[in-house]
Structure 1
């Protein structure tokens, strides 16, 4: 089998975010997605030229959102313009990709560990998932947005729960967009960290991708977590910097 060509990480990132929302837009100059949930990770301006920031603001009015700036892409490096508008910096993370079948430590089966990982199939389980992810009681509006893309036969988001002795201790998500899988929302509760549960969830998400014929996986990682994903075969591609509007802070 010939080697799988390295993907355009930027395009994969955009595609897997557009896939999770009923309302979205993409052109050469602007891309945004909106689930309507009151959580900034579920709405966002994915890229924009400086001239298109006002249009993005109109589309994302009324919901918290993450606004992206791309330091290595001059046309979409809008950090200065966002800061001038009062936006606040949240984080910089590397985009990382993995080509399925490339080896490099890529997990090929369920990863052993202390937790049992299963897919979420009911709204009740999805409420548990949200509580683990957010660290607080589920929000009905967020739950509705999660369910619209994450339940049913045609779902694009496959939510995962990690359980120990029947208690949820971690969560993750696998977003399928065509031949691409995004690994998202990997969270382990504080009492069970550093036990390999995050790696179990990542391996389970990758298994979802394989079952849907994905050729590439993509994720973003905190600086501290990037090494874990590199050991699983992911490669760093380019950084993305995220901001929130002034009304979304505090």
Structure 2
């Protein structure tokens, strides 16, 4: 599947924004400056995710004003700035001029749901939908994906609080892989803007390289297909991208990730 224009990519980027805005328990905005603030001390859980074109100030005043606003909105927590494929032209360069450090990029990958390659579930592993918003269920969920995303034990309780809201959201379906009754992997389907977004794909370190993450991703995509969706999307890590490519995903764009100056902490 090839995405030839920003218009075709737009629903996938909108799915991503909608998902991350769901983490904005302490504040969010989806206007010219799209940002979310969970209030949790984790840079991925507080971020600017898009800056749309304003008046087209060639001197960069739009970006400078947006940075000032973001610095106020996200003060007191670690945060990141994602430069989206549909961000204002030159945003990354303007951020660098103001002391931001480019720390990486995440490919945006896409697949037609009727073309997903079959993925067998590894022997001894069972994949189930995780239901329930009680603290115990949500804590198990967070502990299963936490190590892969840098969510340490000290952050479990506040993240569980937000995950309880996610557990009640009909757009989100949580999948867990179990082996011997233990949760060893996770994935989440987010049904928004007509797209099957896949998030929180994680496998416990000692269970990796067995196909558990791919099987979880396939389960989430199949649920999207069952719901009548036609396109799946995700943002891949360096380790995950080759796995997703074997499943039929294609890279169609990327998010660039910037960290604000350390002196602002």
Match of 1:134 in 2: 146
Match of 2:72 in 1: 58
Secondary structure of 1:223's match? coil
**C-alpha separation between the residues in 2 aligned to 1:53 and 1:15?**
24
Structure 1 residue 161 displacement after superposition = 1.6
Change (3 A) 1:249 1:14: farther
Structure 1 residue 118 displacement after superposition = 1.7
Is contact 1:157–1:173 with CA below 8 Å preserved after alignment?
yes
Greater Cα radius of gyration, structure 1 or 2: 2
Q: What RMSD over aligned residues (CA atoms) do the two structures have, in Å?
A: 3.0
Is contact 1:9–1:95 with CA below 8 Å preserved after alignment?
no
Match of 2:17 in 1: 17
Question: How many residues are aligned here?
Answer: 240
More helix by share: 2
Change (3 A) 1:184 1:74: closer
**C-alpha separation between the residues in 2 aligned to 1:248 and 1:205?**
41
Structure 1 residue 166 displacement after superposition = 0.7
Change (3 A) 1:73 1:212: closer
**C-alpha separation between the residues in 2 aligned to 1:169 and 1:93?**
24
**C-alpha separation between the residues in 2 aligned to 1:55 and 1:166?**
47
Structure 1 residue 90 displacement after superposition = 3.1
Secondary structure of 2:88's match? helix
**C-alpha separation between the residues in 2 aligned to 1:155 and 1:62?**
32
**C-alpha separation between the residues in 2 aligned to 1:144 and 1:74?**
31
Structure 1 residue ranges without an equivalent (≥5): none
Is contact 1:174–1:209 with CA below 8 Å preserved after alignment?
yes
Match of 2:59 in 1: none
Taking structure 2 as the reference length, the TM-score comes to 0.77
Change (3 A) 1:132 1:74: closer
Is contact 1:159–1:174 with CA below 8 Å preserved after alignment?
yes
Secondary structure of 1:38's match? coil
Structure 1 residue 169 displacement after superposition = 1.3
Is contact 1:18–1:32 with CA below 8 Å preserved after alignment?
no
Secondary structure of 2:75's match? coil
Question: Over residues 49-105 of structure 1, what are the superposed CA-to-partner deviations in whole Å (9 max), with x where a residue is unaligned?
Answer: 5242222333333333331124x667244223333444333321211111222x2x4
Structure 1 residue 221 displacement after superposition = 1.3
Among 167, 177, 183, the residue aligned to 1:151: 167
